Amino acid sequence: IMTPSPKCHGKGSPAPGPVPNGVIRLYSMRFCPFAQRTRLVLIAKGVKHEIININLKDKPDWFLGKNPFGTVPVLETSSGQVIYESPITCEFLDEVYPEKQLCPSDPFERAQQKMLLDLYSKVIPYFYKISMGKKRGEDVAAFEVEFTEKLSLLNEALAKKKSKYFGGDSVTMIDYLIWPWFERAEMMRLKHCLANTPLLSKWVECMFEDPVVKATMFSTEDHKVFFDSYMDGSPNYDHGL
Ligand code: GSH
């Protein structure tokens, strides 16, 4: 098996061949939090995979042929099946690879995780509204108030569950789906918004210690270099390579 180069593939780059048997392919971008969800699940489950990073500013036509929305993550199997949208890729992996089930088997618990994910999808935009607004020197106080209110709902979910993690006493799917933005909280200059959500802060601490998180993580400094280059209009997708 030839391992694809970790450097990003842009417009004009040759289309990759079919996915080799026995591996699954992830189209990704090294600093993308959505794609990190899929990387977390691949590693947590020990799934043999290869990664092709995409230049999202100058996408190859063959990539748009796989996902018409042009977003990462995208999975491709050796039989040619293509799956995109991060929560869908994660659920697919959990269903196809039986090792270390990450989604609960109980229907109500599964529903609870999906309700939390739905709530969280309304939190994600605030990470960007606040960090980008701050970088542009705008007043983001109102966004910070709304964000803090939303975070207290996450804190309440942990309080109700009476456990360290969102699904119980060990890390499950919902923790990996929520995680990537909290890894970036310091870089995004919004850690102070967690001042009144102690259970959530504790969760962040615990997640930083998770070996799977450690395996996919970038330092605050590296996240910052990427974010700054993104904000300047020339994202450095290959930073650190
Ligand atoms: N709803 C998508 C998912 O959950 O997979 C969002 C993925 C997404 O927005 N990824 C970004 C992307 O591919 C990178 S962090 N952007 C390229 C574009 O929108 O053209």
- pLDDT category of residue 4 using cuts at 50, 70 and 90: confident
DSSP result, 118-151: HHHHTTHHHHHHHHHHHHTT---HHHHHHHHHHH
What pLDDT, on a 0 to 100 scale, did the predictor assign at position 2? 67
Q: Please say if the pLDDT value at position 210 is more than 90.
A: yes
Walk across the sheet containing 49-53 and list its strands.
49-53, 24-28, 74-76, 82-84
- State in Å: Cα 169 to ligand 1 middle: 31
Q: Are residues 2 and 236 in contact, defined by beta-carbon separation less than 8 angstroms? A: no
- pLDDT category of residue 3 using cuts at 50, 70 and 90: confident
φ, ψ dihedrals at 240, nearest 5°: 95, -5
Sorted by sequence, the CB contacts under 8 Å of residue 33 that are 6+ apart come out as 180, 181, 183, 184
pLDDT in tens, 127-172: 999 999 999 999 999 999 999 999 999 999 999 999 999 999 999 9
- State in Å: Cα 127 to ligand 1 middle: 15
- Annotated catalytic sites, by residue? 32
Q: Please say if the pLDDT value at position 1 is more than 60.
A: no
Ligand 1 site residues (CB inside 6 A) read 29, 32-34, 56, 70-73, 85-86
pTM for this prediction: 0.97
Q: What is the mean pLDDT of residues 1-16?
A: 90
- State in Å: Cα 139 to ligand 1 middle: 26
Pairwise CA distance, residues 161 & 99, whole Å: 25
